[in-house]
């Protein structure tokens, strides 16, 4: 895929702001949603939930800038947005109901050390994720996150009659249609801004339909900020174990996100790069705990934005980090983005999440087309999607194991890695023949396309001759 701006390019300031705003609008809903849901679920008053949200925005902004720009051995130097991860949602609510926010922050602080420790062994971890494995992981990230977009479109409990009403479907379709139209029919910076234009267009339509709640803007304070260690820290063994298991999941997801992002940026990541990225991830979650914010992880939806816009500049996303920091310090600014209706986000999310799956499929295409690799891919994908589509498959397992495997990304990653390690390796001759056959198929497609273009040109010349 041809890039509009490469990894180390700096677009003009105005364009940089617009593209950065696009990433912020795509991520802020998720960043805000986690502390909002956790705070509401454990019975915190509204003013304390607002404090958690401000802390989440500030921490996300700081760590996003560190990942993009890099601080010595910290930061992967890719356009990655960091934010409060939905992966921690269930365990944070369970821990919070037992021990309050202090227990969440304490277990998150200890659990972040798992990521920091793992980062120093990324050369070995990287060997577990060759193209055939990482392609499955990235594809699963895209496919399993699609329900998030579906729930955004529904904007109500699935059992409710208000789920995906016609006005909500209309908003989602309009937003999706704008993104597709701008991407196809526009060029340059306009095409690169397809996501934010889709969000803005959907927002305007929602305003005209009276589907935007502006109370959040009027009630938000002008200036605010987090209160470090507001609730203190408490350390419960069971909470620490549960949180650490989720962090292991996040390591797999982050590795997949980083590789998908590198693929979209037309660059490669080494084990050293992944080490810097995971170290930034781990230290970022440590900082979050101290700032009284939820644990952080890379945001998959922003990987999709890079893929669809062709803007790989890490300086654009570093600017997103600065905007998130402003959002944390000036709640009025963040409140504007928070008022974007969920169906608008959902319509745009279909494109963003679909692009992640597409990046994974592109990676799988480059793997040798052997019977062994086919088994690894098929069983890995099927395992991950199985627990996603039918969670009851795990209901008779011990609670901790079922809780660990409930994520399709986790299950699919474990199965794929084990199969790749345990199945007999394909012979070099078989791999060479598979790669040769794959190249021949590509060359054949190129030749057919060239012939079709030549036939089209000849037809146009003939038609013009006849008209003359």
Nearest C-alpha neighbor of 120 from the set 2, 342, 274 = 274
Q: Residue 221's pLDDT is what? A: 74
The phi and psi torsions of 224 (rounded to 5 degrees) equal -160, -175
Binned average pLDDT, 10 residues per bin, the chain of 468 residues? 82 89 78 78 77 89 94 91 78 83 93 87 72 84 80 86 92 93 80 77 92 78 78 85 76 81 86 88 93 87 78 91 88 71 86 80 83 92 91 88 77 89 77 64 67 68 64
pLDDT at residue 350, rounded to an integer: 87
Q: Specify the pLDDT at position 439.
A: 63
Range 60-88 burial, b when 16+ CB lie within 10 A, else e? bbbbbbbbbebeeebbbbbbbbbbbbbbb
- 467 found inside a domain: no
Residue 303 structural domain: 13-367
Q: Would residue 441 count as lying in a domain? A: no
Q: Give the DSSP letter of residue 368.
A: -
pTM beyond 0.75, yes or no: no
Domains in the chain, number: 1
Query: What confidence score (pLDDT) does residue 424 get?
Result: 87
Confidence (pLDDT) at 355 = 78
pLDDT of residue 19: 87
pLDDT at 145 (0 to 100):
75
3-class secondary structure, 228: coil
Residue 396, domain member (yes or no): no
Instruction: Check if the beta carbon of residue 63 is closer than 8 Å to that of residue 72.
Output: no
Would you say residue 167 lies in a domain?
A: yes
């Amino acid at each position: 895929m041809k890039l509009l701006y490469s990894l180390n390019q700096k677009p003009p300031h105005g364009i940089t702001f617009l593209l950065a705003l696009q990433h912020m609008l795509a991520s802020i809903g998720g960043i805000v949603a986690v502390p909002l849901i956790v705070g509401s679920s454990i019975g915190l008053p509204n003013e304390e939930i607002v404090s958690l949200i401000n802390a989440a925005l500030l921490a996300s902004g700081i760590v996003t800038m560190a990942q993009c720009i890099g601080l010595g051995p910290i930061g992967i130097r890719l356009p990655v947005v960091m934010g409060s991860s939905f992966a921690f949602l269930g365990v944070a609510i369970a821990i919070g109901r037992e021990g309050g926010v202090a227990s969440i922050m304490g277990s998150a602080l200890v659990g972040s050390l798992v990521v920091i420790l793992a980062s120093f062994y990324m050369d070995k971890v990287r060997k577990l994720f060759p193209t055939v494995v990482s392609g499955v992981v990235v594809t699963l990230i895209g496919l399993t996150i699609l329900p998030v977009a579906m729930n955004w479109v529904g904007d109500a409990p699935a059992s409710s009659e208000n789920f995906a009403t016609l006005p909500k479907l209309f908003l989602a379709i309009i937003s999706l249609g704008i993104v597709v139209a701008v991407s196809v029919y526009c060029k340059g910076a306009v095409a690169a801004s397809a996501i934010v234009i889709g969000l803005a267009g959907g927002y305007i339509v929602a305003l005209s339909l009276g589907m935007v709640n502006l109370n959040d803007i009027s009630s938000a304070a002008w200036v605010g900020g987090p209160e470090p260690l507001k609730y203190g820290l408490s350390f419960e063994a069971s909470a620490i174990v549960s949180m650490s298991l989720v962090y292991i999941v996040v390591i797999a997801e982050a590795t997949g996100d980083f590789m998908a992002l590198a693929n979209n940026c037309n660059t490669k990541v080494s084990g050293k790069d992944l080490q810097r990225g995971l170290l930034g991830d781990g230290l970022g979650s440590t900082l979050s705990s101290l700032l009284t914010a939820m644990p952080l992880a890379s945001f998959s939806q922003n990987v999709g934005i890079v893929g669809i816009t062709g803007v790989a500049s890490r300086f654009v996303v570093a600017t997103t980090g600065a905007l998130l920091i402003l959002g944390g310090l000036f709640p009025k600014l963040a409140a504007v983005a928070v008022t974007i209706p969920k169906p608008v986000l959902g319509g745009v999310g279909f494109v963003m999440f679909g692009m992640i799956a597409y990046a994974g499929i592109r990676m799988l295409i480059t793997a040798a087309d052997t019977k062994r690799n086919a088994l690894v891919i098929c069983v890995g994908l099927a395992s991950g999607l199985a627990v996603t589509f039918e969670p009851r498959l795990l209901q008779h397992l011990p609670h901790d194991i079922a809780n660990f495997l409930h994520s399709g990304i986790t299950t699919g990653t474990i199965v794929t890695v084990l199969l790749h390690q345990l199945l007999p390796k394909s012979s070099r001759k078989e791999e060479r023949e598979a790669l040769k056959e794959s190249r021949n198929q590509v060359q054949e497609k190129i030749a057919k396309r060239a012939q079709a273009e030549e036939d089209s040109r000849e037809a146009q010349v003939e038609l013009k001759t006849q008209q003359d």
